[in-house]
Structure 1
Amino acid sequence: MKAAVMRAPKAPLSIEDVTISKPGPREVLVRLKAIGVCHSDVHFWDGAFPAELPVILGHESAGVVEQVGSMVSAVKPGDHVISILSPFCGTCEYCLTGHMSVCHTVNRELFQRDLTEAPRLSIGKEKVGQFLNLSSFAEQILVHENALCVVDKDMPMDRACLIGCGVITGVGSVFHSAQVEPGSTVAVLGCGGVGLAAINGAAIAGASRVIAVDLSDEKLQLAKRFGATDLVNPGKVNAIEAVKELTKGGVHYSFECVGLKQTAEQAYHMLRPRGVATIIGMIPPGVNIEIPGIELLVTEKRLQGAVMGSNRFRVDFPRLVELYKQGRLHLDDLISDRIGLDGITAAMQNLKDNKGTVARQVVVLD
């Protein structure tokens, strides 16, 4: 198969012929049709996070099942599926208490091949790293069955793939992690793909005021289409003061979708008493967030994280597909460009440069 291979940080990805193995007992081979280019891929491409090299990046994908292993029961050949980077085992404490999104962080070895087995991906005798157990910048993926969800075949693949990361991360954080209440106020810091999804989710949840915060006026205007009621550009005003003035004291919920110390702390300071700040962005390792300890006691404000929108993806994905069909989840507006595999390097550079017109760039395959 053809795949975009990363051999060094910040270097252009090379389109190479990669050998993909046959499915093991609980593995599924998927022919990909669409792949979203996510800012999380950029963090590994530019060296901010470590990656096993050579590696195939990519993790936001949708396609058609081609082959299944002997013990697979969740999918069958011909099914249309969306992948996710947070598979679940179904038997651990986290799965059994309804927190499936955390399972992969403590049981990650369950979803990989043993070191004594042949690798899933290789070029000649060289093993190729499988990024987040997916490696979606390729024509095919070979994954554990619990990393896939079957969806309706009439769902367009270029929209379906977005659900697998950016959309479930943003919308799921609103629905599950923070549990936004109807009539409440919300601030979303960062209007990239995840932030726009969080804004959309807050609107669907019935928030009375959804404040979009971003340095790009272009992205702020785009946020209106997803349900933002107010726009704040921190480059022109003090964002914390502006949000507090708009809400007469602060928001009930804030969502940090950038991945910076500064914006994480701003998200906390935008809260009213008993407000909840949810950190969604990938803050680099070694970076600490500082907040006044006494406020936690006196105001009962809360600061929390959310991984992949605290999802239950086999329940959530079909529901999100239905919301899209109803015209309430604005996936069409998320797509800023459609490209081929050879356009991925430029797409990641666009995200790194923070181009205001870029929400989600999607690789479309035949």
Structure 2
Amino acid sequence: MQIKGAVVHEKGQEFKIENVELAEPKANEVLVKVVAAGVCHTDAVARDQIIPVQLPAVLGHEGSGIVEKVGSSVTTVEPGDHVVLSFSSCGHCENCLTGHPASCIYLTEFNFGGKMQDGTHRISQGDQEVSTFFGQSSFGTYAVSNERNVVKVDKEVDLRLLGPLGCGIQTGAGTVINKLQPEFGSSIAVFGCGAVGLSAVMAAKIRGCSKIIAVDVHENRLELAKELGATHVINGSKVDTVEEIRKITDGGTHYAVETTGVSPVVVQSVQSLRSLGTVAVVGATGEVTLNVQQDLLNEGRSIVAVVEGDAIPQLFIPQLIEYYKNGQFPFDKLVKFYDLEEINEAFADSGKGITIKPILTM
């Protein structure tokens, strides 16, 4: 079938809304009419080939929509269901079988390799095969996705809102709730108040952290962090962040979440911990220089890397929706809607910090 998709043809090129052909879903796949898709930093780094994805490609990996058709072996959803599309995993490796699909041994291949799990393409343009992203490519009017990507969601909630739960918001909230699991009354610092960081702030409030410290350089984001549950905010461009955190917490936080990927900020997140503290690094980060003896060993500190909030999407995304319905997780305050044709504006606004979480509507 012919659909509209946002195609990237060359490194760093703007998205172009073009006609592409979408093949029928295979036995274990689902055809989804896309209603909306979140804009995520991961799409930008794929567009710019910081993470290499074979071009041309239709990106997008935070889709939400309505099931239109299912393959013969699909059992978890049916036509008419409202769904969120999340990351792709195999379901049979050791990590998937022990409840850690975000650490699937095929994660890179299935999400960044440009092909579906059987090694073939579903999108084409004339004689040219077009890469799929995260096994879904939701920057289009329709998407074919493996059943394992698909999460059935509550029809009572505005479907346009829900796509970002598939990646960015799941990452921030899941890092706190699933991985760090801070104890009631413990302290946590969140570095970076974008969608991932603010989701971590809301999750820390749900977990009952007594001190939730949000760090950013944009005052408007820090104000929103306070509204969402931060007990303290720090503008890292104006003060010594590590010193301020140690004052607030009488020696350092029990936990931290680092979302920026900026190497000096990663070091700050480590140095802001108290003895035996743990920082979860979730932002795409390059080389970082640490003094292992002083920054880690002397204090018994830990650094953990977390992908997709260590979540099982089929369990965690409905849980987040329940928190939202109960007023505990107001992630709608992060969102601004754009038409698909405004995709380049949405990415520009996100990059400038004007919009925290753009969502494209189809």
Please tell me the TM-score bracket, short chain as reference: over 0.9
Question: Which of residues 206, 209, 217 in structure 1 aligns to 2:208?
Answer: 206
Deviations 1:34-63 (A, max 9, x none): 111111111222332222111111111110
- How much has 1:80 moved relative to structure 2? 0.7
Q: CA RMSD in A?
A: 1.6
- How much has 1:347 moved relative to structure 2? 1.2
Give the equivalent residue in structure 1 for 2:184.
Answer: 182
Give the equivalent residue in structure 2 for 1:360.
Answer: 357
Deviations 1:307-348 (A, max 9, x none): 00000111111111111100101122011x211111111111
Give the equivalent residue in structure 1 for 2:315.
Answer: 315
Following TM superposition, where does structure 1 have runs of at least 4 consecutive aligned residues deviating by more than 6 angstroms? none
- How much has 1:364 moved relative to structure 2? 1.5
Q: Does the 8 Å contact 2:215/2:236 carry over to 1?
A: yes
Instruction: Name the CA shift for 1:71/1:104 in 2 (closer, same or farther; >3 Å).
Output: farther
Give the equivalent residue in structure 2 for 1:52.
Answer: 54
Matched to 1:41, the amino acid is D
Q: Does the 8 Å contact 2:350/2:358 carry over to 1?
A: no
Specify the SS of the correspondent of 1:240.
helix
Instruction: Name the CA shift for 1:328/1:109 in 2 (closer, same or farther; >3 Å).
Output: closer
Specify the SS of the correspondent of 2:66.
strand
Specify the SS of the correspondent of 1:90.
coil
Q: Does the 8 Å contact 2:175/2:310 carry over to 1?
A: yes
Matched to 1:99, the amino acid is H
Q: 130-139 or 15-24: which moved more?
A: 130-139
- How much has 1:288 moved relative to structure 2? 2.0
Give the equivalent residue in structure 2 for 1:219.
Answer: 221
Matched to 2:342, the amino acid is G
Question: Which of residues 37, 41, 66 in structure 1 aligns to 2:39?
Answer: 37
Aligned identity (percent) is 36
Length-normalised TM-score, structure 2? 0.94
Give the equivalent residue in structure 2 for 1:255.
Answer: 257
Length-normalised TM-score, structure 1? 0.93
Matched to 1:291, the amino acid is L
Matched to 1:312, the amino acid is I
Q: Does the 8 Å contact 2:93/2:105 carry over to 1?
A: no
- How much has 1:242 moved relative to structure 2? 0.8
Instruction: Name the CA shift for 1:189/1:339 in 2 (closer, same or farther; >3 Å).
Output: same
Are positions 1:112 and 2:111 aligned together? Answer: no
Deviations 1:137-172 (A, max 9, x none): 111111110011101111211221121112110000
Q: Does the 8 Å contact 1:113/1:120 carry over to 2?
A: no
- How much has 1:107 moved relative to structure 2? 8.0
Counterpart CA distance in 2 for 1:105 and 1:349 is: 32
Are positions 1:96 and 2:97 aligned together? Answer: yes
Give the equivalent residue in structure 1 for 2:303.
Answer: 303
Give the equivalent residue in structure 2 for 1:334.
Answer: 334
Instruction: Name the CA shift for 1:100/1:114 in 2 (closer, same or farther; >3 Å).
Output: closer
Instruction: Name the CA shift for 1:106/1:190 in 2 (closer, same or farther; >3 Å).
Output: closer
Instruction: Return 5+ residue gaps in structure 2 as ranges.
Output: none
Instruction: Return 5+ residue gaps in structure 1 as ranges.
Output: none
Specify the SS of the correspondent of 1:320.
helix
Q: 257-266 or 23-32: which moved more?
A: 257-266
Counterpart CA distance in 2 for 1:308 and 1:156 is: 23
Q: Does the 8 Å contact 1:42/1:352 carry over to 2?
A: no
